[in-house]
Amino acid sequence: MRAGALGWDRSRMRKYVIMGVQGSGKGTQCTLMRHDLELTHISVGDILRWHVQQHTKIGALVRRTMAAGELVGDDLVESIVRDRLAQHDWNYGFLIDGFPRNVRQAGFFLESYDIDGVIHLDLPDEEVQKRVLSRRLCAACGMDYNLISDRPEVEGKCDVCGGRLVTRDDDTPEALAARLRDYYGKTEPVLELFRRKEYVLTVDARPDPATVQKAIRAGLNLPAYAA
């Protein structure tokens, strides 16, 4: 990491990108990071899923592509990111998850925003399959569960809101294979580009979420995580 990225100063705005293969725990780590650090979590996948659920025009455009595990067009994704960041509700900074996913998106992003660091969650392929295929999501509030490591108290029901737990349309073996292909073919080069700029903190994503969160905070010199 660059020396300038170190040290926690509440008055300074932070901008982080979180990257990692599907199932590496990006969403979970963002949740653990955002509250006390007051970072705004921006997940491009969540925004797109909202459009699909609400049957918007954008939802109709992306539904099939997403269900197949393929990447949505760059123009559309870039305009979503531009509009989301233009809301300026990120007074203390943001954590962007699921973007950039290819070199073109990275160019677009770096033209407009300087970043403090890239958190790379590293997970071996054999773990990815196991985690993704056991992932469940609350259809009502979006809370994530995992049938191996983070089971709901009552089977099929969200602990928080009682909503029904469903499988993401793109958490099938076929869609996962497509997403892994895109990750290694298109997203890994982005990581290389960020590495050359010395932005990247790579963290082992295999341990439990709290351990991973502690490693992220230690690596970025952020205030310690209190579970």
Residues belonging to the binding site for AMP are 49, 70-72, 98-101, 105, 168, 179
Alpha carbon distance 72, 98 (integer Å) = 12
Binding residues for ATP: 23-28, 135, 207
Q: Is residue 99 at the binding interface for ligand AMP, with CB under 6 A as the rule? A: yes
Active-site annotation, residues: 26, 101, 135, 168, 179
Min dist CB 54 to ligand AMP, Å, is 15
Residue at shortest CB range from ligand AMP: 45
- 128 contact partners, CB below 8 Å, separation of at least 6: 21, 22, 23, 24, 176, 180
Binding to ligand AMP, residues 7-36 (CB under 6 A): 22
Distance CA 94, CA 10 (A): 13
Beta carbons of 15 and 113 less than 8 angstroms apart:
yes
**Per-residue x/- marks for ligand AMP, 35-54, CB under 6 A?**
---------xx--x------
DSSP secondary structure, 70-128, as one string: PPPPHHHHHHHHHHHHHT---TTEEEEES---SHHHHHHHHHH---SEEEEEE--HHHH
CA atoms within 13 A on the CB side of 43: 15
**Minimum distance from residue 146 beta carbon to ligand AMP (Å):** 15
Nearest residue (CB) to ligand AMP, 70 versus 127: 70
- What three-state secondary structure class fits 18? strand
Piece in contact with ligand AMP (CB under 6 A), picked from 96-104, 141-149, 193-201, 218-226: 96-104
Map the footprint of ligand AMP across residues 160-189, applying CB under 6 A: 170, 179
Number of residues this chain uses to bind ligand AMP (CB under 6 A): 17
Residue 147 or residue 178: which is nearer to ligand AMP going by CB? 178
Angle at 106 between CA 132 and CA 225, to 5 degrees: 55
Residues lying near ligand AMP in the complex (CB under 6 A): 22, 44-45, 48, 65-66, 69-72, 77, 98-99, 101, 105, 170, 179
